[in-house]
């Protein structure tokens, strides 16, 4: 991966753009609902303040190296 830095706001917009692209392809109701919650109000906050808090927690996990995005298979 390229080494560059994003602000928390830029990272949020990047994730929003990613999810919006996925929604445009799938028309998933779940993703559409999430996008609605993530939408920004004119004051800058998200439509759902809980989502904003969860986003901040996710950013902290990523900064602190506590996100494992490695593909894992479960034996069933």
> What residue segments make up the domains of the chain, in order of their start?
8-63
**What are the distances in angstroms from CA 32 to CA 17, 26, 35?**
12, 10, 5
Q: What is the pLDDT of residue 1?
A: 63
Q: What is the pLDDT of residue 2?
A: 74
Separation of alpha carbons 39 and 72, rounded Å: 31
Our CA dihedral for 21, 26, 28, 31, rounded to 10 degrees, sits at -20
pLDDT one-digit tens code per residue, 2-54: 788 999 889 999 999 999 999 999 999 999 999 999 999 998 788 998 988 99
According to DSSP, the residues that pair with 46 across neighbouring strands are 40
This prediction has a pTM of 0.81
Tell me if 23 sits within 8 A of 31, measured CB to CB.
yes
Q: What is the pLDDT of residue 32?
A: 96
């Amino acid at each position: 991966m390229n080494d560059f830095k994003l602000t928390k706001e830029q990272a949020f917009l990047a994730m929003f753009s990613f999810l919006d692209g996925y929604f445009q392809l799938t028309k998933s109701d779940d993703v559409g609902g999430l996008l609605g919650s993530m939408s920004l109000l004119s004051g800058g906050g998200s439509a759902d303040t809980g989502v904003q808090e969860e986003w901040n927690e996710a950013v902290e996990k990523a900064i602190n190296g506590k996100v494992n995005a490695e593909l894992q298979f479960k034996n069933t």
